[in-house]
Structure 1
């Protein structure tokens, strides 16, 4: 068997034997609170549509109008003819909203994270990353010419010690961690960076739109301003794409040297216009964040005494179960009750920490949270009986 055939067959077989093989299924309404899969309807607890904007009528109308005005695609990279007035307006709105001099647009958060690290880091630089940072950040650190040091999750003392031993560099953390739903101690980290002459980069993909006044995110709520702030448009804003917020000089540098920016076709201008509309809705419709707050309170009050419950102050509610097999069993149990919540297994999370990643949306109803709580309690009762 040729080398690649053998390697592919062996790797897939290993995943199957470990119970870790992922599957891809087409869904209808994955961007809503009700998803249909194989003609069966489920309440959707697996979407990152925290504010319920992804299928919002006002946002859809803005995108439709922008398609009529700008066409379907950008047709070129930003440095050629792909940068339009719609992109400029989006950049300006991002800066006005989040308080930075410049914004550099990317097609995804993955691209933005990798572009920043690849463009900024050189040989002999030090890169300090939280161990639970997103795969895009960790992979970029491994592939960059810098030396990467990973500190235990949210452990600022360990971060301090690493910098003290190895020298100043770039510190990277998430504002809200995507699998655990907890938050970084940003004020402490920024103070540490200032004291030890480091730059700070914050990936706030899961905080922007949800936290702070007008949804300005983790950094604004913590009263800090990192040198680099990465925000994505595919979570709370309900669209797609990302941006790096930074100083004017850093933005100019990225536009010259970030290959993900220079050599990628720009996002469609209609999409940029839709994101601009999403920012307006996010800033002005506080009721969405208020609804999320009510749902989180209900979730905690109904599920807080269950063994897998983890307390978070964000819409990401991991329910820890331990083994990959038990996570799949719980996911199947929930589906039988008409609830869709994805099992997260290694290698996405560490071995022994498989979980159901429950995410809340402003479009959920209180009775749907109650049904989820009842289903989780049923599973725990059945599991306890089997152990006996």
Structure 2
């Protein structure tokens, strides 16, 4: 029997090239205490992922409902818990209606792909990968505009040759940590008869009164032409996602959103944990303020040490280092000094913009900040040597 070329050879070649460029990625299995490192890498902004109130709620729901939802939400996967979470989310955020998904990624896929079908889709160049994928799945014409450029957005809308249009943006951008000009984007969308879809993954639980999000803070929560996607796995310390919007939007997603129709519903334990987290936010509206204070302290610390960073709009504080090898070395230095940080390299960021991503948490202590300063001091010293 004769054989043709090795079908796996191209993958080995590509993997070697990625490793040579400093772009190889590896899985790291963390321990329950994460080796005792201070966590600046996760998205657990309010420190709720290990909160006993969420764990108790998840345990009780799992014992009552079982470990899985047992099917898609249109078959057996919807429970009274799912309905309760949707009611709670819309009440908390001021949305007209809500629909829970099994992840924030899938919520974005449904919102953009379904609502953007047969329409022009205008997307910020800094948007999350889930939005990029959703734009492709919409099979519509997509215009990618420069970062936070409202003029470019409005021009794309005005020049379109189809009736309908959707503008999609992160609220707080996941790497740069800056805030989208939501009021201006909404005004442009209204003038041009377009829908505005806002991904609140990094703003729910951090921005707005009591963590109600950037859309709420901008006074747009009741606007019928604004759709929000949220994740339950960041500030809310659980798992899953949701779309918030007008009744017509939710009805459309139930009928046509493929990542809703064909996906198993969110597990009851995760639903219950998210419900508990929303209740905590409602009862402790001061929590988001702690996150923002710590983020500003981290950014100020980095600037004092001569490191390049932004003024954070939320919890995300990037430290731009340039080459991927430098970012990798900086992440190792931080871990050696007791701090776990995110390390972002292409394609997650543009070439030449590899960075550490620090994420602030509400429960960081003064002692934690002292350790973090020591780690960033060592990074700054390394950068000076390599320049």
Deviation at 1:384, TM superposition (A): 2.1
Residues 160 and 291 of structure 1: CA distance in aligned 2, closer, same or farther (over 3 Å)? same
1:229 counterpart = 2:224: no
Does the 8 Å contact 2:112/2:168 carry over to 1?
A: no
Q: Deviations over 1:171-197 (max 9, x none)?
A: 000111011111101001001110111
Runs of 4+ in 1 over 4 A off after TM superposition: none
Deviation at 1:154, TM superposition (A): 0.3
1:328 counterpart = 2:328: yes
Q: Deviations over 1:221-278 (max 9, x none)?
A: 1111353110110000000000111111221121111111111111122321221111
Q: Deviations over 1:92-140 (max 9, x none)?
A: 11111112222111111111111122222334x2100000101111122
RMSD, aligned CA = 1.6
**Structure 1 unaligned residues grouped into runs of 5+:** none
1:157 counterpart = 2:155: no
Residues 19 and 297 of structure 1: CA distance in aligned 2, closer, same or farther (over 3 Å)? closer
Distance, in Å, in 1 between the alignment partners of 2:376 and 2:116 is 46
Q: TM-score, normalised by structure 1?
A: 0.93
Distance, in Å, in 1 between the alignment partners of 2:295 and 2:8 is 48
Does the 8 Å contact 2:220/2:226 carry over to 1?
A: no
Q: 1:177 aligns to what?
A: 173
Does the 8 Å contact 1:86/1:270 carry over to 2?
A: no
Does the 8 Å contact 1:27/1:35 carry over to 2?
A: yes
Q: 1:261 aligns to what?
A: 260
Does the 8 Å contact 2:302/2:319 carry over to 1?
A: no
Q: How many residues align?
A: 378
Q: 1:85 aligns to what?
A: 80
Distance, in Å, in 1 between the alignment partners of 2:47 and 2:375 is 24
Q: 2:127 aligns to what?
A: 133
Does the 8 Å contact 1:175/1:202 carry over to 2?
A: yes
Q: TM-score, normalised by structure 2?
A: 0.93
1:65 counterpart = 2:60: yes
